[in-house]
Structure 1
């Protein structure tokens, strides 16, 4: 099917036929040869995708025709083809918005072919960007991305609205699995900075010795192994939003450097001398109580007051039982769409079982429970026996222990489970399991275990 209409406006019929024949070799092009400017204007109702015009037409010159085309259809691209190389005319037309200016010679056909390909690629890219922006806007629409109608969640929505309408720093607190990063994205993509970068950094997932270079970047030769310049996360977020997840795990030394960046709005890369100006909005998240961490001496008081900004506390799922069945349906619908299977429902008895559990892993745990139940269900209905709770379930523990594994395999299984439960927070998992964090980092680096 022809999908790209090209008007060739050319009074030299032989040359026009040459261009028409050449471009028609692409079966996607519908090429129309037009002999005058007036005829071109009369056919604009056909909505061409591209117009090439001869600058020396008998009834009007190229500039006059160009202006009239743009008045009628401002978005249609126009390529000027001239018998003479008039630099000043070419520059003027290109400044007015002409797509290209080609001189008639032995290379014109090939240059026109390439210009059309480039034009279509650029148009495709613009359409893709427009579509992605629309998807992002939809994706982070509160009613779609953050599911729930409970009073506790409505209070969170009101705070997100206030945060999105200002440039104030935002601090998000809540238990693991309550959706802190989703809220951070909602703030960014509904703010005036939505067209700029959103950069997320999980402080708990970066080894202490790499944090500074990750955040600040470095110059070539700054240290052994620094073979090229690296842009840090602060610079990546310039103009947009920097989200520092699990900021409560940040080392005190890095805290002081972060404070300086926030105060001065500038940084110096490791190994460099030049000051780099910054403009970003900071959003932080933690499962810890930072005020308590300040009292314990684990977090700088001056940094705490600098980053707290607008605090948003996310309620645990056990305090949102009104939303639990809505979330269940949301996860089930997504699961069925992704797997291209018929709709799955939860029986009344199944809903009762879901409502009796406290979900220590919060929304992330509920999602895992529902997806597993969908796999186990028969006849597209989830019954109580299909529902397995993943935390504190003795039956599941017995099943694992009755499986013959090596100690190393059990270790991998336990660490992988904890990383999934605690959102790849290596320091927290090391603390919970009472093992060295280097053990976990090494297993992640070697691929012996994978993060959540």
Structure 2
């Protein structure tokens, strides 16, 4: 088996010699460079598998060498070594794509551990390329396209194709994060209205008064702050489709007005007397049990049947695990395009680890985990350990020692809500959107868990 060749570049002969001796004792071939110019020339040799570069060297410093070889850092990982402890160089090195950044005096065991890990990452990258496990071609799926090969998803695709040809209201049902907005978009884009607008409204994001104005518009002077007349979402969606998300949270009084629009196609703006006509197809979505809300007197039965002419039910991700590799690869491809990481990919072990998870947050949670892991991973081939590292910085675990499911779920919910509030700087509307719940539900949870705005 060929021994990996490692470049050690440092203008201090003692440090360079000690590192070379350490690496040779571990069975590596070592090449030495006393300045940045020599290091840059040696890095051009594809036989070099890894480089340890001192940050401060004559000729060219380690950062300059790193910049010059930025397009080859997947094939030849670079570890920068420096005696300076400032954050600037470390941040810049990691931004440019360095595998790691070590400060002097360094622990020799840490050096060996980092070298082994970097070489393992390089080997994984080679295996992924050899096995053609790289993300799929750019034009295989659009960013706003539902993805799946599971029979339940194929049934959804067929149903969308049939219902899109009509003009009837559609009710999309599914847990948070299953892709209800994508399904609504697919109905619109495959309909005769596709050239018209696709307008979206979150029914839980605003108070009933503001939502009425949002939906139907208002006349000048209709209420304090209404300094000019404004068209509502129904008028904006004329000739197209209006997507009403979280329809289960709609105020009962507004439900009556929505029912009238669905039945007659007419309405009045807030504060107005003129009847407005709008040619709009409505697609509504909910993660709530609307029949249970009808029984509780919180949702009109006649509106339910008017909306539920055709229902599209999206399966949770745990019920279509065979689609997880497909989704994960598509998400990774989009991340690679977004951040210009051409070598970003999933190792086979990572795919297996993702498939074993239950994903209570469904596709949205999968996207979140992969994005966080891709940003924090030390290499561009994601491994199971990268998901755990990402979880340590952002995800949550049940309370230690608790095996009571109710307590574990409550603690997890509390931590997730706290993270969302902190992330969105206590913008409750944005936090509710991130969490996939209504603004009203978020207020209830804030009270339940005793959160206090800092």
Whole-angstrom distance in 2 between the partners of 1:143 and 1:223: 40
Q: Go from structure 1 to structure 2 and tell me whether the alpha carbon gap of 1:410 and 1:273 turns closer, same or farther (over 3 Å shift).
A: closer
1:61-87 superposed Cα distances (whole Å, 9 cap, x missing partner): xxxxxxxxxxxxxxxxxxxxxxxxxxx
2:322–2:355 contact (8 Å) kept in structure 1: no
Q: Go from structure 1 to structure 2 and tell me whether the alpha carbon gap of 1:195 and 1:409 turns closer, same or farther (over 3 Å shift).
A: closer
Shift, 1:335, TM fit: 0.6
Shift, 1:376, TM fit: 2.9
1:392-414 superposed Cα distances (whole Å, 9 cap, x missing partner): 42599xxxx9xxxxxx9996359
Superposition pairs for residues 207-286 of structure 1, below 5 Å? 207-286=207-286
2:350–2:382 contact (8 Å) kept in structure 1: yes
Secondary structure at the aligned position of 2:147 is classed as: coil
Whole-angstrom distance in 1 between the partners of 2:287 and 2:317: 14
Secondary structure at the aligned position of 1:318 is classed as: helix
1:419 aligns with 2:432: yes
Of the two, which has the highest radius of gyration?
1
Shift, 1:333, TM fit: 0.7
Secondary structure at the aligned position of 1:145 is classed as: coil
Q: Go from structure 1 to structure 2 and tell me whether the alpha carbon gap of 1:351 and 1:284 turns closer, same or farther (over 3 Å shift).
A: same
Structure 2 partner of 1:150: 150
Structure 2 partner of 1:201: 201
Secondary structure at the aligned position of 1:230 is classed as: coil
Q: Go from structure 1 to structure 2 and tell me whether the alpha carbon gap of 1:141 and 1:240 turns closer, same or farther (over 3 Å shift).
A: farther
Whole-angstrom distance in 1 between the partners of 2:215 and 2:139: 28
Structure 2 partner of 1:432: 445
Structure 2 partner of 1:355: 355
Q: Go from structure 1 to structure 2 and tell me whether the alpha carbon gap of 1:372 and 1:199 turns closer, same or farther (over 3 Å shift).
A: same
Whole-angstrom distance in 1 between the partners of 2:421 and 2:243: 32
Whole-angstrom distance in 2 between the partners of 1:185 and 1:223: 33
Secondary structure at the aligned position of 2:243 is classed as: strand
2:168–2:281 contact (8 Å) kept in structure 1: yes
Shift, 1:294, TM fit: 0.8
The correspondence for 2:397, drawn from 381, 393, 397, is 393
Secondary structure at the aligned position of 1:374 is classed as: helix
1:344–1:381 contact (8 Å) kept in structure 2: yes
Count of residues in Structure 1 that have an aligned counterpart in Structure 2: 294
Shift, 1:427, TM fit: 1.7
Higher relative contact order (CA 8 A, sep 6+): 2
TM-score of the superposition, structure 2-length normalised?
0.59
Q: Go from structure 1 to structure 2 and tell me whether the alpha carbon gap of 1:420 and 1:228 turns closer, same or farther (over 3 Å shift).
A: closer
Whole-angstrom distance in 2 between the partners of 1:421 and 1:144: 18
Secondary structure at the aligned position of 2:204 is classed as: helix
Structure 1 partner of 2:289: 289
Whole-angstrom distance in 1 between the partners of 2:223 and 2:195: 35
Structure 1 partner of 2:368: 368
Shift, 1:293, TM fit: 1.0
TM-score of the superposition, structure 1-length normalised?
0.60
2:203–2:249 contact (8 Å) kept in structure 1: yes
Shift, 1:342, TM fit: 2.3
2:147–2:326 contact (8 Å) kept in structure 1: yes
Whole-angstrom distance in 2 between the partners of 1:202 and 1:158: 26
1:132-183 superposed Cα distances (whole Å, 9 cap, x missing partner): xxxxxx9997897111111111011011101211111100010100010011
Q: Go from structure 1 to structure 2 and tell me whether the alpha carbon gap of 1:298 and 1:384 turns closer, same or farther (over 3 Å shift).
A: same
2:150–2:320 contact (8 Å) kept in structure 1: yes
Shift, 1:190, TM fit: 1.0
Secondary structure at the aligned position of 1:218 is classed as: coil
Shift, 1:425, TM fit: 2.5
Superposition RMSD on alpha carbons, in Å? 3.2
**Unpaired runs of at least 5, structure 1:** 1-137, 402-407
Whole-angstrom distance in 2 between the partners of 1:139 and 1:178: 23
Q: Go from structure 1 to structure 2 and tell me whether the alpha carbon gap of 1:409 and 1:429 turns closer, same or farther (over 3 Å shift).
A: closer
Q: Go from structure 1 to structure 2 and tell me whether the alpha carbon gap of 1:236 and 1:198 turns closer, same or farther (over 3 Å shift).
A: same
1:179-230 superposed Cα distances (whole Å, 9 cap, x missing partner): 1001101110110001111111001111222111111111112223221111
